[in-house]
Copies of this chain bind each other. A is one copy, B any other.
Amino acid sequence: MTAYHEFTLNDAIDFARRHYRGFAAGAALSAEEVGDGNLNRVFRVSDPQGQGVIVKQALPYIRCIGEGWPLTRQRAAREARVLLRHGELSPHGTLALLHHDDTLSALLLEDLSHWQLWRRALLETDEPESVATALGQHLARVLYGTSDFQVPSAIKRAEVVRLANPELCATTDTVFFHDPYRPGERNRVPPGLESDAAALWRDRELKHRVAHLRLRFQCNAEALLHGDLHTGSVFVREGECRVFDAEFGFYGPMGFDMGLVMANLLLNFCAQSGWRDAGAAEAARFARVEELRRLWKAFSEDFLARARTTSAPLLGEPGVAGEWVQQVWRDSLGFAGTEMIRRTIGIAHVADLDDIADPAQRQDCQRQALWLGRRLILEAATLSPVSLCGELRRLAAGEPVSGNGDQGMDSLPRGAWKRVRR
């Protein structure tokens, strides 16, 4: 058909008109570019009644860096495969894919512009409706449903191949497990955190733990992951959620998806004092802890309920699924820690921290995120869901937090934390 070319607004309109059946024939369509992502162009095409559809096209490079970091357009096909598979397993948790054109590297997607990005909701609303339970159940559906608990051996191994994503996984590997742990030009260390970053780069115990997380990321093909499940990859409305932007999807360790959601709740937790007054910030911090708790509860209960019906050889033996879920928890804490660190000093930051207006307050929040991330990694093997939530609540309220000597929360710069809560 048509050779690949970067879409203009008119190309996006043509693409939508050709493949979307929801517009009236001959309707006057208009398009606007709505993407703020790093890898793609995203357009909203709509008719005069305001009904719309999304056109997403992969660019042959990482947009925020430019043509110096080339990236094949195959990721559009990869995203399509992940959205379809996750959509089969969790239609109410996954953005609907309406059409995919491989030649143009273009996707036609459900328009949820009347929904809210979860990250914006968490930042801009004092009491956003919680989607934690819905998202936890979504994760249980897609992770369980693509795992050895559900899928027969040969089919699952073929799926690992079909959904392989070596190129974008190498990007994830670099930005999660390489760049943030050494000085390097791709890092964006915030002003004032230079010595914190330098201390982290010298922290052998931390790097030792992250090395094992890296090996799990590289080796463990447990389930089909979204692969980049931060709060900006989730639309929310009235307690419902729809996950999108799945181009980083691959078969990996379940805790990577779960950990990224937890990390982004905790980045928001760390940022609250930069966004609202002390009382509201404290309430919001408590709300994030409660969301983390509900997210894990929904995921683990739903996963274990499904596992009780597994017909996979041996995996229904008593205790197997329970220990599996405990390992997912430990992985989640570790990967959450790596996300918090890389979102603070690596190449790609989050608005929660970077958009704090006051420089001193921003710096305090960033420092706290860095140190909370470090602690999750170092204590992943010993923190239970109950003990983590308990310590986070004490931290939310500004109380002293127990910890293993200088590896614990006590090693947080206490003054900085108090300043955050002023």
A interface residue numbers (CB < 8 A to B) = 148, 152-158, 160-161, 164-167, 169-170, 173-174, 177-178, 181, 204, 207-208, 210-212, 214-215, 218-222, 313-315, 317-320, 323-324
Contact call A323/B154, Cβ cutoff below 8 A: no
Query: Quick one: closest B residue to A155, CB to CB?
Result: B166
A233, chain B: closest CB distance, angstroms: 22
Given contacts A208-B320, A219-B220, A221-B219, contact A214 B157 (CB under 8 A): no
15 A-B residue pairs with Cβ-Cβ distance under 8 Å, sorted by A, are A148-B218, A153-B174, A157-B166, A158-B166, A161-B161, A173-B313, A181-B314, A207-B314, A211-B315, A212-B323, A214-B314, A215-B315, A219-B222, A220-B220, A220-B221
Which single residue of chain B is at the shortest CB-CB distance from A254?
B219
**New contact pairs (14) apart from A161-B161, A208-B317, A219-B220, CB-CB < 8 Å:** A153-B170, A154-B166, A154-B167, A154-B170, A158-B166, A160-B164, A181-B314, A204-B318, A207-B317, A208-B318, A210-B314, A211-B315, A211-B320, A215-B324
Chain B contacts for A169, CB-based, 8 A: 153-154, 157
Which chain B residues lie closer than 8 Å to A320 at the CB level? 208, 211-212
Q: What's the nearest-Cβ distance from chain B to residue A178, in Å?
A: 4
**By the criterion CB–CB under 8 Å, are B166 and A317 in contact?**
no
A251 to chain B, nearest CB (A): 9
A163 vs chain B, min Cβ distance (A): 10
Structural contact, A170 and B148, CB atoms closer than 8 A: no
When distances are taken between beta carbons in the complex, the residues of chain B under 8 Å from A204 are 317-318
CB distance from A345 to the nearest CB of B (A): 16
- Given the complex of chains A and B, what is the CA–CA distance between A397 and B211 in angstroms? 43
Q: Which residues of B contact A315 (CB under 8 A)?
A: 211, 214-215
A319 / chain B contacts, CB cutoff of 8 Å = 208
Residues of the B chain whose Cβ atoms lie less than 8 Å from the Cβ of A222: 219
Residues of B within 8 A of A211 (CB): 314-315, 317, 320
B212 adjacent to A177 (CB under 8 Å): no
In the bound complex, do residue B164 and residue A161 qualify as a contact, i.e. CB atoms below 8 Å apart?
Answer: yes
Residues of B within 8 A of A165 (CB): 157
**Do B314 and A156 touch (CB < 8 A)?**
no
Residue of B nearest to A162 (CB): B161
Chain B hits for A155, CB < 8 A: 166
* Complex Cα gap A320–B214 (Å): 11
Q: Which residues of B contact A152 (CB under 8 A)?
A: 170
Residue of chain B at shortest CB distance from A160:
B164
When distances are taken between beta carbons in the complex, the residues of chain B under 8 Å from A318 are 204, 208
Task: Give bound CA distance, A164 to B166, whole Å.
Answer: 14
